[in-house]
Structure 1
Amino acid sequence: MKFAHLMTTTLLLLAANAAVAETTLRIGIQDDPDMLDPHRSRTYSGRLVYTALCDKLVDVNPDLTYAPQLATAWNWSEDGKTLTMTLRDGVTFHDGEVFDAAAVKFNLDRARTLPDSLRKSELASVESVEVIDAKTVEIKVKQPDATLISQLSDRAGMMLAPKASATDVASRPVCSGPYKFVQRVQQDRIVLERFDNYWNKQAYHFDKVIFLPIPDTSVRLANLRSGDLDIIERVAPTDVKTAKADSHVQVFSTPGLGYMQLMYNTNNGDKANTPMGKDKRVRKAFELAIDRDAINQVVFEGLYAPSAQPFPKNSPYYDKDLPLPTRDVEASK
C-alpha cells in the first residue's frame, strides 16, 4: 500500500517590521543537517540548506519539468549513451574560482569515487566525464539511463568549488548558490549571507538566511507565532488549524514528492516465508481491507491525498490508468 504525501506545508509569518524582513530570513527546520557536503549528506533538512547554498546543473520547476540552472542546455546522442551539457557563462564559486567544464568533471568524479559518497548509486551508470571545452562537458554512460537528468537535479548535480574542496568540505562548503556559508553551530544554527557575484542575484533580496533546527513541531510553530521565526517547514497536520486561526500567519500547502508505503518481503531470506510474503491472495486481501481515506482523516487531518502510486497528480509520471483501490472488506475475506 502506498500513501502519497502530496501536501508539504510551509508557514510564513507576516513580518511587522519590513526593514528587518528584507535583511534576515529566519527559517525553522525540523532537524539539524548531518553534513554540508552534497556528495556525502543524506538528510532532507540538508536539501533545504542546499537550496540557498549550492546550485545544481539542472533545476526542477513547480510542474516537475526540468529547467536550466548551471547547465543551460543538454541533449542525448542517438544511442542514448552520451549526454552533452552546455554550461552557463559568467558563474563563479563563492571563493572566486570560475565555474567551468573542468569543475563539472571534478564534482561528478568526486561524487562517483569518494569512498563515503552517497551519490555513487545515483551516478552508477556514468562511465566517464569528458571536458570538450570550457563551457561544454560530455557525460558518457554505460547504458542508456533515463534517470540521469533527475539525479543531476539533486545533490549529485550540485557543484562545489574544486580548489576549496580538496580538503574537508562539510566544515566550510564553497558552492555557487545565491548565498554563501558564514557559520554553523551544531544543533543551533546555520548562517548564510548573500553572494554579491551570483549570476541571478536580482532574484534574491535578503542579506542573510539563518536556518534554525527545532525538532519539536509545536515549539517551531510557537516560535513562528511569537515572531522569532519567519518561516517553518514540515508543519504537523495537527498544528495546521492553529496556524490558520492566527491572523499573523499564512499557511502554504503544495504538492510534494514524498510518500509513505508498506512494503512486503517476498523473496529475502527466511522472513519472507510467511503467508503475506508467499501468497499474493493475502496481500490482495490486505489491500482491499485498507481504508486510505480514514487514515488520511484520522492521522493527517485530511490534508494529504490517498494514492496507489508514488507520484502526485501533477507529475508527468502519474498513471491515470492506475485507480485508487476502493475498500471492500467482504471481498478481502
Structure 2
Amino acid sequence: MNRSRTRHPSALRRPTLMRAGVAVLATGALTSLAACGGGGEGGGGTSSQSPSDTLTFAYDADAAPTGYDPLEYSQGQFTFFSALYDSLFVTQPDGTVAPSLVTEFSNNEDDTQTTLTLRDGVTFADGSELTAEVVKANLDRRNDADLEAYGALATGGASEIVDVAAPDPQTVVITWAQPQASPENNLTDTAGVVVGPDGLADPATLETTPDGSGAYTLNAGQTTRASTYALDKKDEAWNADEWAYDTVVFNVITDPQALANAVISGQADIATILKPTTIDMVEQRSSLAKVGGTIVGFPVIDKTGATNPAFADERVRQAISHAIDREAIVEQLHPG
C-alpha cells in the first residue's frame, strides 16, 4: 500500500499585510488588515471611505515597478500582491504553511509526486473560475527566465518540477525531479500564486491590469504607478470576510524621514522598514513592531549555464556562496 499524507486546513487562512523580514510601524490602536491577522503594505486613502474602512500603508519601495504579474517578483513583494492574488499555499503569522487555493494534498510513497485538490467557488478578475488546467498553465511557465518566483521550480532548481497534470477540473498532479517530503513549502506565497486565464493568455496585459482571485481589485482611477496603489475589496471574493478593510492604499515613500513623518502625522497607519535614525523619533508617538530582519541574497537563475557555462556546475555556485563576506554586508549595508 502506498504511504500518503493528506492535510485538511482547519480554517480559512487569515491573510496578513506583513510578512517575515519586514519591520512594521503602526499607530495607536491600529487594527490588522485581516479580521484575525495582520499584513500588507500601503498608504493614502480615498475620500469616500471612513477611516475605519481604509488602511493606509506607507511603503519604502515601488510595490509593482514592472507591472502586476506577481511571478516577476520575489517573496518580499507578496505583501502587496497577496491582496490581489491567491496562492496555492500561504505562510501563516507563526511561520507555518497552510493551504489556501488547495483544500487537501498528498504525496506518493517515494515523495516524487504530489496530488492537490483545489478549492471550489474561486473566481478571477477576468470572470473565469479556478480549475486544474489554470493551475497547470501557471506552473508550465516555470522555465520563463523573467519569472523570478519560479526559480526553484524551473529546470535545475532545488525543487524542479518535471511534469504537471490535470486529470480532472479540481485535481492537479505535480511530479518532482527529486523527492519532496514537504511539497507545500515549494508552492507557498509568491511561488504558488495563480494568475487568471486572460493574464496567462496575454501576459502583456498584466503590465497594467492584475488578473487574480484575491480579495481586492486595483482601483485604476485612484492609482498612480510608483506613487499610490489603491485596492478595493470584492465582497463576492471567496475569502472576503477574512479581510477587514474596504480599501487598502499603498503609498510609496522612499525617503526615510518622509516615511517617518507620514506615520507621526497620521497620514499612514503602517510603515515598513524604518531606518535606525528615525525609529526613536517615531516610537515616541507610535507602536513599533519588529518582525524578522533583512535578508540579502544572491540567487543564481542561470543554473543550466545557458548564459554563463560556469553556473551549470553546482560547485561554482557553492564557491560563490562561500566567498561572500557576510559580516561585511551586515556592517556596511545594515549597521545596527
Residues 200-211 of structure 1 mapped to structure 2, 5 A cutoff: 200-211=239-250
Q: Distance in 1 between matches of 2:178 and 2:233?
A: 41
**Which letter does structure 2 place at the counterpart of 1:217?**
P
Where do 5+ consecutive residues of structure 2 fail to align?
Answer: 1-19, 31-48, 155-159, 299-309, 312-318
Residues 205-220 of structure 1 mapped to structure 2, 5 A cutoff: 205-220=244-259
Query: Residue 114 of structure 1: CA displacement?
Result: 3.5
Structure showing the higher strand proportion among its residues: 1
Larger radius of gyration between Structure 1 and Structure 2: 1
1:87 aligned partner: 118
| Percent of matched pairs sharing the same residue | 29
1:14 aligned partner: 28
Find the residue that maps to 2:116 and give its secondary structure.
strand
Aligned-residue Cα RMSD (Å) equals 3.2
CA gap 1:243/1:91 in 2 versus in 1, 3 angstroms = same
2:152 aligned partner: 122
Specify which of 235, 239, 242 is matched with residue 281 of structure 2.
242
Residues 154-169 of structure 1 mapped to structure 2, 5 A cutoff: 154-167=189-202, 168=204, 169=206
Query: Residue 130 of structure 1: CA displacement?
Result: 0.7
Decide whether the 8 Å contact of 1:31 with 1:213 is kept in 2: yes
2:43 aligned partner: none
CA gap 1:229/1:120 in 2 versus in 1, 3 angstroms = closer
CA gap 1:261/1:109 in 2 versus in 1, 3 angstroms = closer
Find the residue that maps to 2:262 and give its secondary structure.
helix
Residues 220-299 of structure 1 mapped to structure 2, 5 A cutoff: 220-246=259-285, 249-256=286-293, 258-260=294-296, 299=335
**Which letter does structure 1 place at the counterpart of 2:218?**
F
Query: Residue 15 of structure 1: CA displacement?
Result: 7.4
1:177 aligned partner: 214
Q: Distance in 2 between matches of 1:291 and 1:106?
A: 43
**Which letter does structure 1 place at the counterpart of 2:283?**
K
Q: Runs in 1 of length 4+ with deviation above 3 angstroms?
A: 145-148, 258-262
1:198 matched to 2:251? The reply is no
Instruction: Count how many residue pairs are aligned between Structure 1 and Structure 2.
Output: 266
Where do 5+ consecutive residues of structure 1 fail to align?
Answer: 1-5, 263-267, 270-276, 301-333
Decide whether the 8 Å contact of 2:84 with 2:214 is kept in 1: yes
- Deviation per CA, 1:244-285, whole angstroms, max 9, x where unpaired? 211xx22122235x43589xxxxx89xxxxxxx9xx9xx9xx
1:151 matched to 2:186? The reply is yes
1:106 matched to 2:106? The reply is no
1:97 matched to 2:128? The reply is yes
Find the residue that maps to 1:218 and give its secondary structure.
helix
Q: Distance in 1 between matches of 2:151 and 2:126?
A: 30
Q: Distance in 1 between matches of 2:172 and 2:150?
A: 19
